[in-house]
Chain A
């Protein structure tokens, strides 16, 4: 199995508060890795470090490495825009731009310099198809993205990520604001997408982690306590604290 992303002894501080403590983890290519743990355990912080989303927060400090295809994305001289193009992100609340559906999807490619209408049309259609949204919106591409349902908005955000042709997709609780049916669609979409992309998902919903992922990491108080195949983690966790958490004894 090829590691797409590896972290080595990754620690992170918000001011004096340590949010992550020496997390070393290897994320396999073309698989779905789920990160679980109680609120405040550091899983979202960890996810955001994988595409340098925490860079803009003042007074933060980081040690350790995040390797994308073996290259440390935090080493000086690395182009952050390129990192975020290669590692896209989908957030908890669907956050379409207040623009048309078309403009939402075309936004990334335009920023990266794609201006020819013909190419853009192609990218928009391809991305919406890949996000399983095309059939529902193809006749209304000029409609505002905000007018879509929550589940459709989230798929639009996924299409927007896909439009810049990333290699990794980070998902931060992508279904927590969605109803079960929309959740199911996103989960099916993830299964289809993993053939081409590597997916890392943070979720509070343990059934979701168990359903969709191949690998699961359990975080507690800034440490990654256990990381193993999802099937093993949910049937025979090795750490008592993992067992207590997943079986609802705390958290």
Chain B
């Protein structure tokens, strides 16, 4: 393969990561919308779409392996491919968390709503926005932006604490709410984990730029 062709492949690989990223962003958004609006069809859609996300991840992984085998990449080429291999795992897992939220939306579908959801959608927005910007930083090779995104994980952790405390009070006041409240805690946990996964992606961005493995922010959870 000529160098120009290799460059095109490498570019194509990163475009694929962006496509996968936007699929995952949608999954986060749709899952929360399904939960909020009790839209069971949308929840089922998120669950079905997850298989597409998994397949896309496999495709990208295969392309990485092909490039490693045929091109023996080194230096920044190698770092990009190693970063992609890791980023797609995190993306797939974030999608799994979204799928988990969609499943909870289905479980809660027949139950009366516990309360209007405010902080959970806020967490979802935060996680989705962090994810979007982390991939943007990857494409722009912006280590500084990636480091900043990691710090924002604290805000998601704080929202998680808040949701957790609030739901505990519901359960304490009325044991009949325990099932529903617990499920919402699972949702909060899914979102908290998703934001953590974004910090992993950010660490890969820093690695791509500097060649150094750094643990940037250690999450409370």
Contact = CB atoms under 8 A, between A and B. Distances in A.
Interface of A: 206-207, 210, 232, 234-237, 242-243, 246-249
A235 B211 contact: yes
Interface residues of B, number: 13
Contacts of A247: 73-77
Nearest to B1: A248
A207 B79 CA distance: 16
B76 to A, nearest CB: 6
A199 to B, nearest CB: 22
21 contacts: A206-B74, A210-B74, A232-B211, A234-B74, A235-B74, A235-B79, A235-B211, A236-B75, A236-B79, A236-B210, A236-B211, A236-B212, A242-B75, A243-B76, A246-B74, A246-B75, A247-B74, A247-B75, A247-B76, A248-B3, A248-B6
B108 interface: no
Nearest to A210: B74
Interface string B60-74: 000000000000111
Contacts of B72: 206-207
A81 B54 CA distance: 67
A235 B75 CA distance: 4
A243 B3 CA distance: 13
Instruction: Describe A's contact surface by its main secondary structure.
Output: helix
Q: Which 8 A-B pairs have the closest CB atoms?
A: A236-B211, A234-B74, A243-B75, A246-B74, A247-B77, A247-B75, A248-B3, A237-B75
A114 B24 CA distance: 76
B78 interface: yes
A246 to B, nearest CB: 5
A25 to B, nearest CB: 21
B181 to A, nearest CB: 49
Contacts of A248: 3, 6
A249 B3 contact: yes
A25 B210 CA distance: 25
A242 B3 CA distance: 16
A38 to B, nearest CB: 14
Contacts of B78: 234-235
B213 to A, nearest CB: 10
Contacts of A243: 75-76
A233 B218 CA distance: 30
A215 B162 CA distance: 53
Nearest to B211: A236
A246 B76 CA distance: 10
A206 B73 CA distance: 11
Given A235-B74, A236-B211, 13 more contacts: A206-B72, A232-B211, A234-B74, A234-B75, A235-B79, A236-B75, A237-B75, A242-B75, A243-B75, A243-B76, A246-B75, A247-B73, A247-B76
B7 to A, nearest CB: 9
